Structure 1
Amino acid sequence: MSVTVAIVGRPNVGKSTLFNRLVGRKIAIVDDTPGVTRDRREAQGRIGDLTFRLLDTAGYEDANDESLEARMRRQTELAIAEADVILFMFDARAGLTPTDEHFARLLRRSGKDVHVVGNKAEGRAAEPGLMEAFALGFGEAIPLSAEHGLGLADLYSVITHAVDRIAAGDGDGADEDGGLRKPLTDVDVIEEDEGDEEAPVRRWNPDRYLNVAIIGRPNAGKSTLINRMVGEERLLTGPEAGITRDSIMVPWEWQGRVINLVDTAGIRRKARVQKKLEKLSVGDSLRSIQYAEVVVLLLDATIPFEKQDLQLADLVEREGRALVIAVNKWDLIEDKNAKIRELRETCERMLPQLRGVPLITLSGLQGRNIDKLMEAIHAVEKVWNAKIRTAKLNRWLADMIEHHPPPAVSGRRIKLRYMTQAKTRPPSFILFCSRPDALPKAYERYIVNGIRDDFELPGSPIRLWVRGGKNPYVKDDG
Structure 2
Amino acid sequence: MDLPTVAIVGRPNVGKSTLFNRLVGRKLALVDDRPGVTRDRREGDGSIGDVTFRIIDTAGLEEADADSLLGRMRAQTEAAILESDAVLFVIDARAGVLPADRPFAELVRRAGCPVILIANKAEGGAGMAGAYEAFSLGLGDPIPFSAEHGEGLGALQDALREVLPEPDEEEDEEGGGKGLRVAIVGRPNAGKSTLINRMIGEDRLLVGPEAGITRDSISLDWEWRGRRIKLHDTAGMRRRARIDDKLEKLAVSDGLRAVRFAEVVVVLLDATIPFEKQDLTIVDLVESEGRALVIGLNKWDLVADQSGLLKALREDCTRLLPQVRGVSVVPLSGLAGEGIDKLMQAVVDASEVWSRRVSTARINAWLTDALQRNPPPAVSGRRIKIRYATQVKSRPPHFALFGNQLDALPKSYTRYLVNGLREAFELPGTPIRLSLRTSKNPFDKG
TM-score (norm 2): 0.96
Where do residues 39-54 of structure 1 align in structure 2 (5 Å cutoff)? 39-54=40-55
Report the Cα distance in structure 1 between the residues aligned to 2:323 and 2:175, rounded to whole angstroms: 32
Where do residues 113-192 of structure 1 align in structure 2 (5 Å cutoff)? 113-163=114-164, 166=165, 175-176=168-169
For residues 58-107 of structure 1, what are the alpha-carbon distances to aligned partners after superposition, in whole Å with 9 as ceiling and x for unaligned? Answer: 10011133111000000100110011111100001101111100101111
Report the Cα distance in structure 1 between the residues aligned to 2:27 and 2:402, rounded to whole angstroms: 43
Residue 44 of structure 1 deviates from its aligned partner by 0.7
Q: Runs of 4+ in structure 1 displaced over 3 angstroms?
A: 174-179, 181-184
SS at 1:416's partner residue?
strand
Report the Cα distance in structure 1 between the residues aligned to 2:168 and 2:31, rounded to whole angstroms: 29
Residue 139 of structure 1 deviates from its aligned partner by 1.7
Q: Are the structure 2 counterparts of residues 45 and 477 from structure 1 closer, same or farther at C-alpha, using a change threshold of 3 Å?
A: farther
Report the AA paired with residue 324 of structure 2: L
Residue 182 of structure 1 deviates from its aligned partner by 12
Q: Counterpart in 1 of 2:100? A: 99
Q: Counterpart in 1 of 2:379? A: 409
Report the Cα distance in structure 1 between the residues aligned to 2:386 and 2:126, rounded to whole angstroms: 74
TM-score (norm 1): 0.89
Report the AA paired with residue 50 of structure 2: D
Q: Are the structure 2 counterparts of residues 182 and 31 from structure 1 closer, same or farther at C-alpha, using a change threshold of 3 Å?
A: farther
Q: 1:264 aligns with which of 230, 234, 239?
A: 234
Report the Cα distance in structure 1 between the residues aligned to 2:336 and 2:136, rounded to whole angstroms: 47
1:51–1:178: 8 Å Cα contact kept in structure 2?
Answer: no
Report the Cα distance in structure 1 between the residues aligned to 2:257 and 2:176, rounded to whole angstroms: 14
Residue 345 of structure 1 deviates from its aligned partner by 1.3
Report the Cα distance in structure 2 between the residues aligned to 1:47 and 1:372, rounded to whole angstroms: 41
For residues 419-443 of structure 1, what are the alpha-carbon distances to aligned partners after superposition, in whole Å with 9 as ceiling and x for unaligned? Answer: 0000000000000111111111111
Do structure 1's residue 388 and structure 2's residue 389 form an aligned pair? no
1:44–1:178: 8 Å Cα contact kept in structure 2?
Answer: no
Q: Counterpart in 2 of 1:196? A: none
Report the Cα distance in structure 2 between the residues aligned to 1:76 and 1:175, rounded to whole angstroms: 25
Where do residues 40-79 of structure 1 align in structure 2 (5 Å cutoff)? 40-79=41-80
1:44–1:177: 8 Å Cα contact kept in structure 2?
Answer: no
Q: Are the structure 2 counterparts of residues 99 and 182 from structure 1 closer, same or farther at C-alpha, using a change threshold of 3 Å?
A: farther
Q: 1:249 aligns with which of 201, 210, 219?
A: 219
Q: Counterpart in 2 of 1:327? A: 297
SS at 1:123's partner residue?
helix
2:17–2:30: 8 Å Cα contact kept in structure 1?
Answer: yes
Q: 1:437 aligns with which of 398, 407, 410?
A: 407
What is the root-mean-square deviation of aligned Cα atoms in Å? 2.0
1:183–1:211: 8 Å Cα contact kept in structure 2?
Answer: no
Report the Cα distance in structure 2 between the residues aligned to 1:252 and 1:175, rounded to whole angstroms: 18
Identity of aligned pairs, percent? Answer: 62
Residue 469 of structure 1 deviates from its aligned partner by 2.4
Residue 3 of structure 1 deviates from its aligned partner by 2.0
SS at 1:465's partner residue?
strand
Do structure 1's residue 240 and structure 2's residue 241 form an aligned pair? no
2:58–2:80: 8 Å Cα contact kept in structure 1?
Answer: yes
Q: Counterpart in 1 of 2:368? A: 398
Do structure 1's residue 360 and structure 2's residue 353 form an aligned pair? no
Report the Cα distance in structure 2 between the residues aligned to 1:407 and 1:333, rounded to whole angstroms: 48
Do structure 1's residue 465 and structure 2's residue 435 form an aligned pair? yes
How many residues are matched? 442
